[in-house]
Amino acid sequence: MSVDVSSALGVFDSGVGGLTVVRALRELLPNESIIYLGDTARVPYGSKSPDTIRRFATEDTQFLLNRQVKAVVVACNTATAHALPDLQRSFRVPIIGVVEPGVEATLEASDCERVGIIGTAGTIRSCAYQHAIAMRRPDVRVEAIATPLLVPFIEEGWLDHPALKSVLREYLKPMLAKGIDTLVLGCTHYPLLVPMLKRLLGGKVRLVDSASTCAAHTKRCLEEHCLLRTSRTKPTLEIHLTDYSEQFENLAHRFLGADFGKIKKAQL
């Protein structure tokens, strides 16, 4: 299969949270065009079963490949956790997930001994992070907990509310009691929690966010496959959503932190 380096990079997520990855990609790879698919008609994936998540992720990838993307970034931890090996077997372009880059960044710090992981029920139940860490550093102790209330708080925009602080305290209590030194934000929504988490944890716990680590990994992958775009024309950003509402548009602005053109309605 011949791949055109001027083709866009495909990125998908269950909803608009994956736009935090697009934001990081645009900072790191400002010359790349991006086609983003958010499966907002079926969001969230995090509470659903592995079979269903794999079916959705396959349809999302096929949608992007129909638009001739040169590589696919799975900007969703739940879809990465359950579907990445399947996608990599089924499709022939490079397919990049968010879990491995997060784990690499986590283990970069040589003094990392106890790692906490938060994510959706699907991500945590898959043990994808736990497994990837154990394969590299079996000595590292891992505490993982599903935190399904965090996405709703982020989508409601209550990022500074005492109830969010109370929820975070409750979720993090057991891992803080065990003395974690690193906390992996295993969901592409969570970068928006960083200010509140920093206030809550002080400087004691290092935060690893899967959006920026995934962007760095994508850059390396495009370099290795000689897929970096060389054209000097302005790169484009296309956003497709399977359901459109004003709420999704507002959220998209918040996650992307930038303007974008008209959202296209996708049918899967």
User: Which of 3, 65, 127, 167 is close enough to bind its own copies by CB under 8 A?
Assistant: 167
Per-residue CA distances from 73 to 60, 85, 218 (Å): 11, 13, 8
Of the residues 187, 214, 221, 226, only one is catalytic, namely 187
Least CB distance to its own copies at residue 163 (A): 4
User: Which of 4, 27, 52, 258 is close enough to bind its own copies by CB under 8 A?
Assistant: 52
User: Which of 155, 182, 183, 217 is close enough to bind its own copies by CB under 8 A?
Assistant: 155
Q: Which residues of 34-48 are buried (b: 16+ CB within 10 A; e: fewer)?
A: bbbbbbbebbbbbeb
Residue 112 is among the residues annotated as catalytic for this protein: no
Q: Contact, 167 vs 149, CB < 8 A?
A: yes
Residues 198-257 that bind its own copies (CB under 8 A): 243-245, 247
Neighbours of 52 (CB within 10 A): 13
User: Which of 36, 129, 153, 255 is close enough to bind its own copies by CB under 8 A?
Assistant: 153
Distance CA 231, CA 168 (A): 45
Residue 187 is among the residues annotated as catalytic for this protein: yes
The reply to whether 163 sits near its own copies by the rule CB under 8 A is yes
Q: Contact, 125 vs 146, CB < 8 A?
A: yes
Quick check: helix, strand or coil at residue 174?
helix
Region binding its own copies by CB under 8 A among candidate stretches 19-27, 37-45, 69-77, 135-143: 37-45
# residues near its own copies by CB under 8 A: 28
The reply to whether 47 sits near its own copies by the rule CB under 8 A is yes
Q: Cα angle vertex 147, ends 119, 190, to 5°?
A: 55
Least CB distance to its own copies at residue 246 (A): 9
Backbone phi, then psi, for 39, in 5-degree steps? Answer: -85, 60
Q: Which residues of 130-154 are buried (b: 16+ CB within 10 A; e: fewer)?
A: bebbeeebeebebbbebbbebbebb
Closer to its own copies by Cβ: residue 60 or 155: 155
The reply to whether 92 sits near its own copies by the rule CB under 8 A is no
The reply to whether 166 sits near its own copies by the rule CB under 8 A is yes
Least CB distance to its own copies at residue 244 (A): 6
Q: Contact, 181 vs 206, CB < 8 A?
A: yes
Residues 133-152 that bind its own copies (CB under 8 A): 148-149, 151-152
User: Checking DSSP bridges between strand 114-119 and strand 141-146, what pairing results, if any?
Assistant: parallel
User: Which of 31, 49, 62, 231 is close enough to bind its own copies by CB under 8 A?
Assistant: 49
Site for its own copies, rule CB under 8 A: 40-43, 47-49, 52, 121, 148-149, 151-153, 155-156, 158, 161-164, 166-167, 170, 243-245, 247
Active site residues: 76, 187
